[in-house]
């Protein structure tokens, strides 16, 4: 029986074979590593601890994988929790509320709820990341418009919130909040101007800002930018002044009392709805409003007026005859609704959310004032007063400073009267004279004026980025600059609705040290998917 070769003999045979290969390579002028040492042979016989089968990197142990997965999930959950907090404007201390903690643990008992200091550190990190992203974005913008809103959480505690707006390279109006500043009770025009300049310097946009839209403050003096009042704020001021009439304010208080009775009396409301069903009447929501915005007031009065007959039945049944309106009161309410309806119809020309270009204001104001004149012709004294106040606040709409903005909007350029059109052409000519001859400017404007209007739903910014640029390239930069001016200092979803009052109440409850960061992320991060 022949014995198999020993393991040591096989090892020696392999070593001799490698030596012969090494000698051959040396004669040819080559050199190879010393691969035939015992150390090398052993290392080739055993795989390293860093490699697995098929020479692939070995995976970490299962427990380490689970630990890494949990760490990643914890971080994701913490960021989502913070995003929820800033989106609904809650204080960070909500994470330490026992009921909130119990709710989260029932949803996910593996999630470690961060403490308030932990959430503050996360808030600061995300804020710094998003601030740097916005700085990079603003560096690419050509012309910037600022909005500033002066507001108070308490009578002695006023703040200034500053936002920015610009048209990006794709033809979209972009809006971002920059900073919220505590004014420490100094609401003077000089201090507001100083704070605005400080924000511009801090963000490196001072040379790019050409217009500022303001709300809650008087006109600023000695400024280099164009001053624009917020359209929504102006309308609310007009309505607030309208309500100073004692007779009208008394009627509105009576309306509130009627709705309050049904809102706080379950049996009365049940009887009211049952009576409506029996009579085949439409059931509408009863809105209770206490604020100063005209649109929620209109919706409250519309609901009251359309359901008033049924309300009277229930009021009589419950012995609440003192709440019933007399004929003069009902006439006042009817006139107020008729006077405010044109405002609501005019608002339909604007977007429902975000920011709207100021170029729509002249067509909107013309439609509004025409309707108010019609109501005035029907002996509506409230419409007459409202029309007078609008004329005083908005000026002569037939010869208006916004004519240029509207003329450069391809949706509305042919809706201007002759005076406004001449004013717009004159101002545009002055702007372009530095680069073009009067004859060339005249030809460009004539061709643009002859161009067919785009549809009401078209994007005027995108039109100027592409179609307008190809046909009237000389006007493109000026057009985008003028159209980039927004009409309100706050988003439209807050400007004309109860949501605006709710937002103001929520932000007033945020910790002062976190206010700026939370409002910044609410604007620039919370809506990201």
Residues 212 and 266 in one domain: no
Residues 327 and 431 in one domain: no
- Write phi, then psi, for 152 (nearest 5 degrees): -130, 135
Q: What is the pLDDT of residue 58?
A: 63
Q: What is the pLDDT of residue 347?
A: 86
Average pLDDT of every residue of the chain: 88
Residues 112 and 187 in one domain: no
As a whole number of angstroms, the distance between CA 370 and CA 342 comes to: 9
Residues 373 and 409 in one domain: yes
For 51, the token pair is 């490699």
pLDDT tens for each residue of 333-389:
999 999 999 999 988 888 888 999 999 999 999 999 999 999 999 999 999 999 999
Confidence of residue 109 (pLDDT cuts 50, 70, 90): confident
In a domain, 261, yes or no: yes
Q: What is the mean pLDDT of residues 75-102?
A: 93
Instruction: Tell me the three state secondary structure of residue 61.
Output: coil
In a domain, 447, yes or no: yes
Instruction: Please give the model's pTM, rounded to 2 decimal places.
Output: 0.82
Q: What's 353's DSSP letter? A: S
Residues 340 and 367 in one domain: no
As a whole number of angstroms, the distance between CA 153 and CA 490 comes to: 17
* Beta bridge partner(s), residue 145: 165, 211
Confidence of residue 33 (pLDDT cuts 50, 70, 90): very low
- The more confident residue out of 272 and 17 is 272
As a whole number of angstroms, the distance between CA 213 and CA 147 comes to: 5
* Beta bridge partner(s), residue 211: 145, 226
In a domain, 439, yes or no: yes
Residues 173 and 288 in one domain: no
In a domain, 14, yes or no: no
Taking CA atoms, 382 is separated from 67, 84, 301, 465, in Å, by 70, 44, 15, 44
Query: ∠ CA 226-408-224 to the nearest 5 degrees?
Result: 15
Number of domains in the chain: 4
Instruction: Tell me the three state secondary structure of residue 168.
Output: coil
In a domain, 184, yes or no: yes
pLDDT tens for each residue of 281-304:
989 989 999 888 999 999 999 999
Residue 470: domain span: 358-483
In a domain, 385, yes or no: yes
Of 320, 321, 329, the C-alpha closest to 248 is: 329
Residues 375 and 442 in one domain: yes
Burial grade of 42 (CB within 10 A; 0-12, 13-18, 19 or more) = exposed
pLDDT tens for each residue of 244-256:
999 999 999 999 9
As a whole number of angstroms, the distance between CA 232 and CA 175 comes to: 17
Residues 281 and 332 in one domain: yes
Q: What is the mean pLDDT of residues 209-218?
A: 94
Q: What is the pLDDT of residue 42?
A: 46
E-assigned strand segments in 430-474:
none
The answer on pLDDT for 482 being more than 80 is: yes
């Amino acid at each position: 029986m022949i014995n198999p070769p020993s393991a040591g003999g096989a090892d020696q045979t392999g070593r001799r074979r490698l030596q012969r290969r090494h000698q051959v390579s040396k004669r040819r002028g080559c050199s190879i590593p010393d691969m035939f040492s015992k150390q090398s042979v052993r290392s080739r016989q055993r795989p390293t601890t860093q490699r697995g089968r098929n020479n692939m990197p070995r995976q970490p142990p299962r427990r380490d994988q689970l630990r890494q997965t949990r760490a990643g999930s914890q971080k994701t959950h913490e960021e989502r929790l913070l995003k929820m907090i800033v989106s609904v404007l809650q204080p960070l201390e909500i994470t330490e509320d026992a009921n909130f903690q119990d709710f989260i643990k029932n949803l996910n008992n593996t999630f470690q709820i961060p403490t308030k200091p932990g959430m503050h550190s996360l808030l600061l990190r995300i804020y710094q990341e998003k601030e740097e992203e916005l700085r990079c974005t603003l560096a690419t913008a050509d012309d910037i418009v600022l909005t500033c809103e002066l507001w108070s959480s308490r009578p002695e505690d006023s703040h200034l919130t500053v936002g920015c707006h610009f048209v990006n390279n794709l033809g979209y109006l972009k809006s971002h909040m920059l900073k919220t500043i505590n004014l420490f009770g100094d609401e003077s025009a000089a201090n507001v101007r100083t704070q605005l300049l400080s924000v511009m310097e801090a963000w490196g946009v001072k040379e790019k800002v050409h217009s500022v839209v303001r709300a809650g403050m008087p006109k600023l003096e000695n400024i280099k930018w164009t001053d624009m009042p917020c359209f929504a704020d102006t309308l609310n001021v007009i309505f607030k002044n309208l309500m100073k009439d004692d007779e009208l304010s008394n009627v509105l208080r009576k309306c509130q009392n009627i709705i309050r009775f049904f809102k706080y009396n379950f049996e009365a409301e049940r009887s009211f709805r049952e009576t409506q069903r029996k009579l085949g009447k439409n059931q509408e929501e009863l809105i209770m409003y206490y604020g100063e915005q005209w649109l929620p007031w209109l919706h409250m009065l519309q609901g009251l007026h359309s359901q008033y007959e049924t309300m009277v039945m229930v009021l009589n049944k419950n012995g609440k005859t003192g709440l019933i309106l007399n004929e003069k009161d009902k006439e006042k309410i009817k006139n107020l609704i008729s006077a405010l309806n044109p405002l609501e119809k005019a608002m339909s020309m604007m977007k429902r959310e975000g920011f709207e270009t100021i170029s729509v204001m002249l067509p909107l104001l013309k439609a509004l004032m025409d309707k108010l004149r019609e109501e005035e012709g029907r002996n509506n004294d409230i419409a007459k007063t409202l029309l007078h106040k609008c004329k005083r606040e908005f000026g002569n709409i037939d010869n208006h400073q916004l004519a240029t903005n509207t003329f450069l909007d391809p949706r509305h350029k042919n809706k201007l009267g002759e005076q406004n059109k001449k004013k717009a052409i004159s101002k545009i000519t002055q702007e372009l004279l530095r680069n073009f001859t009067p004859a060339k400017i005249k030809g460009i404007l004539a061709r643009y004026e002859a161009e067919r209007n785009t549809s009401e739903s078209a994007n005027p910014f995108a039109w100027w980025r592409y179609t307008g640029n190809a046909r009237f390239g000389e006007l493109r930069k000026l057009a985008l600059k003028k159209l980039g001016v927004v009409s309100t200092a706050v988003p439209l979803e807050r400007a004309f609705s109860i949501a605006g009052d709710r937002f103001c109440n929520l932000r007033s409850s945020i910790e002062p040290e976190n206010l700026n960061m939370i409002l910044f992320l609410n604007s620039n991060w919370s809506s990201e998917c």
